[in-house]
Amino acid sequence: MKKKILSIVKYLIFVLMGIGLIWLAFKNADFEKIKIEFKNANYIWIAISVIPMLISHLFRAIRWNQLLGTLDCKTKKSTTFYAVLIGYFANLFVPRIGEITRCGVVATRYKMPINSVIGTVIAERAFDMVSLIVIIIITIISQLSLLTDFLNKNFIEPILSKFYTGTHAFVIIASILIGIFTIFYIIYRALLPKLRGIKLFNKILDLIKGFWEGIKTIKNVKHKNLFILYSIGMWTMYALTMYISFMALSSTKHLSFIDAITLMSIGSIGVLAPTPGGIGAYQYVLMLTLIGVYNIAESTAFSYANIVYFAQWFMFIILGGLSWIMLILSQKKELLK
CA distances, 322 to each of 28, 82, 83 (Å): 38, 9, 11
HSE-up (13 A, CA, CB side) for residue 158: 6
255 secondary structure, DSSP code: -
- Report the greatest alpha carbon distance in the chain: 81
What average pLDDT score do residues 47-62 get?
A: 95
> Could you give the percent of the chain with pLDDT greater than 90?
22
pLDDT of residue 58: 95
pTM of the model: 0.75
Q: Of 78-87, 195-204, 219-228, which gets the smallest average pLDDT? A: 195-204
> Could you give the percent of the chain with pLDDT greater than 70?
66
pLDDT of residue 247: 95
What average pLDDT score do residues 42-47 get?
A: 94
Who's near 153: CB < 8 A, 6+ residues apart? none
What average pLDDT score do residues 290-302 get?
A: 86
- Strand stretches in 118-190, DSSP E: none
The pLDDT of residue 120 is above 60: yes
pLDDT of residue 93: 80
pLDDT of residue 91: 83
- For 216-255, the pLDDT digits (tens) are 667 778 888 899 999 999 999 999 999 999 999 999 999 9
- For 165-193, the pLDDT digits (tens) are 555 555 666 666 677 777 766 666 666 66
- Higher-pLDDT residue of 136 and 277 is 136
Q: Domain residue spans in the chain?
A: 31-336
Q: How many CB atoms are closer than 10 A to CB 187? A: 12
What average pLDDT score do residues 33-37 get?
A: 81
Q: Which of 70-84, 92-106, 235-249, 294-308 has the highest mean pLDDT?
A: 235-249
Coil vs helix vs strand at 333 = helix
pLDDT of residue 227: 92
What average pLDDT score do residues 149-167 get?
A: 57
Average pLDDT over the chain, rounded to whole? 78
Q: Of 62-66, 186-190, 298-302, which gets the smallest average pLDDT? A: 186-190
Q: Of 98-107, 168-177, 277-286, which gets the smallest average pLDDT? A: 168-177
Q: How far apart are CA 133 and CA 124, in angstroms?
A: 14
